[in-house]
Structure 1
Amino acid sequence: MNTSVAVNGTSVRFSQVWTTQVSVIVEIILTTTTLVGNLLFIGAVILKKKLRTAANMFLVNLSLTDILAAVLVSSFAIDAYLHRGWRLGLDICIAHTIIQNSCLGVSLYLTAFTSINRYIYVVHKKIYHRVTNKISVTLAIVAAWVLPSVTYAYILSKHAGYSPVVFRCRGYAEYLKVVMSFYVPSVVTVIFYILIFAYVRKSRLRIQAHAANQTGTNQGPNAHEVRLLKVLLVVFFLVALGYLPNVILTTTYAALRAPTPVDAFILVYPCQHIAGAVNPILYGGCNKNFRDAYREFLTGKLFFGNTTSVTQNTTPNAGDPRQIPLPNRGGTGDRGNQQIISSSLADVTSRQ
């Protein structure tokens, strides 16, 4: 049942209890999956040398934003929904909102820089290794973290406050923050992926038209590269679509100067964290290297390698005279063999 109270002389309608209960259950599932999956992904990249590519460095930072959101955003939201109220003070409430929005902005800027990186790799492969190095990748990652974080910290520290209808703090400078941290990186990402897939299509048509003359030449990205592009594009859409319901609700009702539908706002809130839970599964499902790394990580092979006991190697090496089986002569049983082995080793040593 909905309840309404007067806040500062205005009637405020609270959400139904079942909506917060559903959101809590979904948030717990997504938070747990996000933490396990992204820690597994980061561990695999760190410990598996061949996975330390430029594209994966962007994905590692994307995983870090998902972990940050799970620990500092989802967990606090779960507490607020369970108690149907914020219990940690206004300063932490505002900081929670800043972190939540910053994680969105950082995720989208990381996907934007990833699309630029992939565009250079596919379309301008000859200059890729000249322009893509540790410095350029680091600068791009730092920019992806700093730009949205500073923007939201500046705006929301002055234009955010507690909302009793959603049990959390909300920002009130909606248009500026949405344009800066949602539309700008999203448009950049879409443009560069359109350019990439247009180039891929053009390359395929050229290969088909000149198949007889182009045998063995590299006219475009191979199947593995195209599959990677599709995975990265899906990652972007998961991040963007997860926040889209919240963005639509917020901006639409702000433009209409109408109160946000409380139940809908609370129910769509967990959608923001779907990408964090699904992305590590997507990486593993579409990339054999990640599947192998996950398996080795979970079984401990990435930490300890394939350790085989020395005692298990009982096959003699025919090229080593010290391991040639010797007959039982000059003594009885093992003692006789031991004497012969000792004399053979001494003989081999003297010849060396």
Structure 2
Amino acid sequence: MSNSMSTNVSYEDTFSGPAIPPGWVLTVTGLVEVFLTASAILGNLLFVTVFCLQKKLRTTINTMLFNLSITDLISPILVSSLTGDGFLKRLWRFGYSLCVINKVLHRILLETSLWLTTCVAINRYICIVHHEKYHRFSNRKTLSFALMFSWCFPVATQVYLHTRPNAFRYVEGIFPCVLNVSGVFTLASLTVQIVLTVYSYLAVFLFIRRSRNRVQAHSAGDDTSTNNSKTPSLQEIRTLKVLMAVFLLIIFGYIPVPLVGSIFKALGRPEGLAFLILLHPAIHIGGAVNPILYGISNRNVRESYRQILTGQKIFGRPCCGVNAESQVSAI
């Protein structure tokens, strides 16, 4: 059997019977993976560069987004690039060790990214809804703990789960490592992350709505509705929407793949492999789009992007005369 016809083996446990995807499906998916890989590397390298060169960008939220960019840099270099090669070559060419590293690293980076976005959401919740207490949590110790937890917890748990005996079964194919590890723990962690993030943003937007209603009532002359609570600015609201978009890109990029696989497996339809492969690049869309979102929500980041891309000096003059750390609106 030729290499181009040996791509179905690792999916025999997922889809009943042989399930050889059409060649055009693998080619298109591989090309999309290459495009997303290049975009993610360039975009996140740009954001990492401006963060390191510009002291005014080193806010609490930007530090978390910097770590998120690091995960979005590691992923295209060590995960999606190898996966894209497997699609284009119709065969995994890197052996068992890299296959295991690829699988484990993908889970670690996904969980780390979600914990980082969860920490961002909690930070915005405290900053806006409980802004009078924010100074207690906005310090280096809290930030260091959040970053250490976001990285160390996924690494410890995923390495433990996936390095136990018989955690993988290796067969020839595009995705040669078949997982024998239960996904219950990963699902539980994912649920906690989603609940915390959604609750934080929902509470923030409800607070903003109530604040607007109080302002409108006060403007109408209803003195009983006056309140000393801070009303978020339009810039803060736009930043919140962008941060929420970052979170949603990760979630809706990851969920369709296992969801489609489970549906077609339940239906016993082997042709579902083609749909599964076509959906696979969605996992990496967030890494390519996130640096653009950072620029949309923050004028300092946009200006730094422009100076680097146009070859202007960054150390010669500040990007912006406003102290970003003093603004809640800073990303």
* Pick aligned residue for 1:282 from 279, 286, 293: 293
1:37-186 equivalences under 5 Å are 37-158=43-164, 159-162=167-170, 164=172, 166-186=174-194
Q: In 2, distance between residues paired with 1:140 and 1:243?
A: 23
Q: TM-score, normalised by structure 1?
A: 0.78
Q: Which amino acid in 1 is paired with 2:85?
A: D
Q: Which residue of structure 2 aligns with residue 292 of structure 1?
A: 303
Match of 1:241 among 233, 249, 252: 252
After superposition, the CA RMSD in angstroms is: 2.8
Whole-angstrom CA distance in 1 between matches of 2:256 and 2:154: 20
Question: Across the two proteins, how many residue pairs are aligned to each other?
Answer: 305
Which deviates the most, 277-286 or 192-201? 277-286
Compare 113-122 and 43-52 and name the one that shifted more.
Answer: 43-52
Amino acid at match of 2:130: H
Residues 174-213 of structure 1 aligned to structure 2 (within 5 Å): 174-211=182-219
Report the 3-state secondary structure (helix = DSSP H, G, I; strand = E; otherwise coil) of the residue aligned with 1:85. coil
Assess if the C-alpha contact under 8 Å between 2:92 and 2:174 holds in 1. no
Q: What is the alpha-carbon distance in structure 2 between the residues aligned to residue 123 and residue 23 of structure 1?
A: 43
Structure 2 CA distance, aligned partners of 1:216 and 1:188? Answer: 28
- Shift in CA distance, 193/207, structure 1 to aligned 2, threshold 3 Å: same
Equivalent pair of 2:9/2:171 in contact (CA under 8 Å): no
Cα offset for 1:278?
0.6
> Which has the larger displacement, 231-240 or 75-84?
75-84
**Residue among 220, 231, 236 paired with 2:231:** 220
Flag the 1:254–1:105 CA change in 2: closer, same or farther, 3 A.
Answer: farther
Identity, in percent, stands at 38
CA distance in 1, matches of 2:210, 2:137: 24
CA contact (8 A) 2:99 2:176 kept: yes
Summarize deviations over 1:199-251 as a string: whole Å, max 9, x none. 11111111111125699966321111111111100110011111111131344
Contact (CA 8 Å) 1:165, 1:262: kept in 2 or not? no
Deviation at 1:271, TM superposition (A): 0.5
| Inter-partner Cα distance in structure 2 for 1:135 and 1:170 | 40
Instruction: Give, in angstroms, the shift of residue 303 of structure 1.
Output: 4.0
Structure 1: which 5+ residue stretches go unaligned? 307-352
- C-alpha offsets along residues 321-352 of structure 1, whole Å, 9 cap, x if unaligned? xxxxxxxxxxxxxxxxxxxxxxxxxxxxxxxx
1:4-43 matched pairs, under 5 angstroms: 11-43=17-49
User: In the aligned structure 2, how far is the partner of 1:103 from the partner of 1:258?
Assistant: 31
- Alpha-carbon distance change, 221 to 304 in structure 1, aligned in 2, over 3 angstroms: closer
* Compared CA separation, residues 217 and 3, structure 1 to 2 (3 A): same
Residues 148 and 181 in structure 1, CA contact (< 8 A), matched pair in contact too = no
CA contact (8 A) 2:19 2:270 kept: no
Shift in CA distance, 78/210, structure 1 to aligned 2, threshold 3 Å = same
Checking the alignment, whether the CA contact within 8 Å between 1:246 and 1:265 is kept in structure 2 is yes
CA offsets 1:37-75 (integer angstroms, 9 cap, x no match): 111111112212221111111111111111000100011
| Secondary structure, aligned partner of 1:161 | strand
Deviates more, 1:55-64 or 1:286-295: 286-295
Go from structure 1 to structure 2 and tell me whether the alpha carbon gap of 1:260 and 1:191 turns closer, same or farther (over 3 Å shift): farther
Cα separation, 2, equivalents of 1:249 and 1:174? 18
Q: Does 1:264 align with 2:275?
A: yes
How far apart, in 1, do the equivalents of 2:171 and 2:261 lie?
Answer: 13
**Bigger radius of gyration, 1 or 2?**
1
Say if 1:48 and 1:302, in contact at 8 Å, map to a contact too.
no
Post-superposition shift, 1:189?
0.7
Structure 1 position 261, deviation (Å): 2.3
Separation in 2, partners of 1:249, 1:172? 19
Whole-angstrom distance in 2 between the partners of 1:302 and 1:48 = 11
Equivalent residue number for residue 316 of structure 1: none
- 2: distance between equivalents of 1:123 and 1:6? 52
Instruction: Return the alpha-carbon distance in structure 1 between the equivalents of residues 265 and 113 of structure 2.
Output: 24
Alpha-carbon deviation of 1:109? 0.8
Q: Hey, what's the Cα distance between the residues in 2 that align with 1:183 and 1:204?
A: 31
